Structure 1
Amino acid sequence: MNDAHLHLLVNHFPIIGTIFGFLVLLGGLYFKSTSIKNTAYLLFIIATTFTVFSMVTGEGAEKMVEDLPEIGHKIIHNHEETAEKFAILMYLLGCASVIGLISNITHHSKALFFAYSILVIAIVAVIVSVKVGTTGGEIRHTEIRNDMISTKINTEASSTIFDKD
């Protein structure tokens, strides 16, 4: 197994884990359940752990695909920049989740404040996770690139014009 393969194996967990954790945390706040909130915190901590693995394997994956046709350095650089922002958010979310978990276990008076703070961080992380997932997908899935859609439309329009003759 190489770094590109490993990266593809682990890079979905931070995104999916963050989305699930966010939904579970919403449920925990709605039902006022400490157990459900703790489950969300654990999901965030696990997602953060996989973020570390994704970042570690990302550089090796980049080296394997950067010179392939139709990829280019710009697409990879865009994904890398977005992934770095996402990683920072995830590290913050993971650390805050540890604090939230400890505050729930110790019945700290600020546990609810931590829950809402973590929710805010999770909302931002979910938004950025969509962007990082899309930019990562654009590396090999040319069909989801904006420039490919406009190129295809222009090509189809041109061929339609020339086919009428």
Structure 2
Amino acid sequence: MNLAYVHLLLNHLPILGTLIALGLFLVSLVANQDDLKQVSLVLFSLIALVAIPTYMSGSGAEELIKDSPDVSMAVIETHQGAALVAFIFMEITGAVSVLGLWRFSRTVKNPWLSGPARLNLLAVLLLASVTAGLMAIAGNTGGEIRHPEILSQQESTSVVGNAGSKLILSIHHFVIDSSMWVWPILEDLHFIGLILLLGAIGVVNLRVLGFLKQLPVGPLHRFIPWGIAGFGINVITGFLFYLGMPGFYNMNFVFQLKMFTILLAGATLLLFYCTSTFRKLGELGPGEDAPPFAKFIAVTSIVLWLAVIVLGRYIPFGEVT
């Protein structure tokens, strides 16, 4: 797979998507529209998912153009650094948005009137505003790679890019060179995150499919934050793995397939369990059957996460030579 094409296909989505989602979010706050708030938070969360392959494909694109005579490595490194900082803030924004969606999905009346809910909205607003600015900087530095005529010397760009570049080097040193125990510990944390994710989501999915029918569905929804926490642990540890050995993962077809599967599974988790779609399902009492569509989503979720596990085990054998 040519990662340069993937990067060109995706790199505008986090930038434009963040601006669009932020605009919708501002409108929802001014107009006090709960449904529009939910849509905005869903968009932030989806953009955070899309940002993962967008950032990772950038390193593959670098490998293809770094030897070109008309390309400056200094500009590439500045863009990488700016993109990393923007990516980190985008993921934090997405995580806070998911938390807000989970609260929204559990509350029927006036879901945004409580103190924690308002604090969540304020946090999303601040984070999204900062992220939008960082995304603009990352996009600008990316454009400078192939268009030196627009090369700028803005202090904000150099500060963000240089800080991100130093962070990349620090993370690489931490993961690979600092200690022989770092990689095994990260693997342990990765497995713990996977256990939390599959345990929490698995219990709910099994109940939806008709197992454990003596349990009502609503209380099981409280397990979802544990699954989200596990997913967050996996994203963090997986990203550290990637920054430690980007060349290996860029040329690994199994890893690329795993990333695509994670995007599908993450979107399924987000759209089904963290929106008002789950409310009707949460009303099911002991002994009641879930609707066919809910069962289809549950089966899809289980299959996708099992596929993620299998693909993860085959990553060491998937490098393209």
TM range (shorter): 0.7 to 0.9
1:132 to 128, 138, 141: 138
Q: Which residue of 2 aligns with 1:162?
A: none
Q: TM-score if structure 2 supplies the norm length?
A: 0.44
SS of the aligned residue for 1:146 comes to: coil
Matched residues in 1 for 2:18 and 2:104: separation? 20
What are the Cα deviations for residues 70-114 of structure 1, in whole angstroms up to 9, with x where unaligned? 212101000000000011001101101101111222235222221
How far does residue 143 in structure 1 lie from its aligned partner after superposition? 2.2
Show the counterpart of 1:150: none
| Other-structure match for 1:16 | 16
Matches for 1:52-63 after TM superposition, within 5 Å: 52-63=52-63
Give the deviation of 1:126 after TM superposition.
0.6
TM-score, length of structure 1 as denominator length: 0.85
Alignment partners' CA distance in 2, 1:18 and 1:146: 23
Q: What is the aligned-residue RMSD (CA, Å)?
A: 1.3
Tell me the CA shift for residue 47 of structure 1: 1.0
Deviation string, structure 1 residues 39-78 (Cα, Å, up to 9, x no partner): 1111111111111011121111000011112212101000
Per-residue CA deviation, residues 111-164 of structure 1 (Å, 9 max, x unaligned), is 2221111000000001101100000111112221137xxxxxxxxxxxxxxxxx
Q: What's 2:86 paired with? A: 86
Q: Distance in 2 between matches of 1:48 and 1:65?
A: 26
Q: Segments of 4+ in structure 1 off by > 4 A?
A: none
* Structure 2 unpaired stretches of 5+: 154-321
Higher RCO by CA contacts (8 Å cutoff, separation 6 or greater): 1
Name the counterpart of 2:291: none
- Kindly report which structure 2 residues correspond to 1:49-128, keeping only aligned pairs within 5 A, or say none: 49-107=49-107, 109=114, 110-128=116-134
- In the aligned structure 2, how far is the partner of 1:94 from the partner of 1:69? 38
Identity rate, percent = 33
Count of aligned pairs between the two proteins:
147
Higher helix share: 1
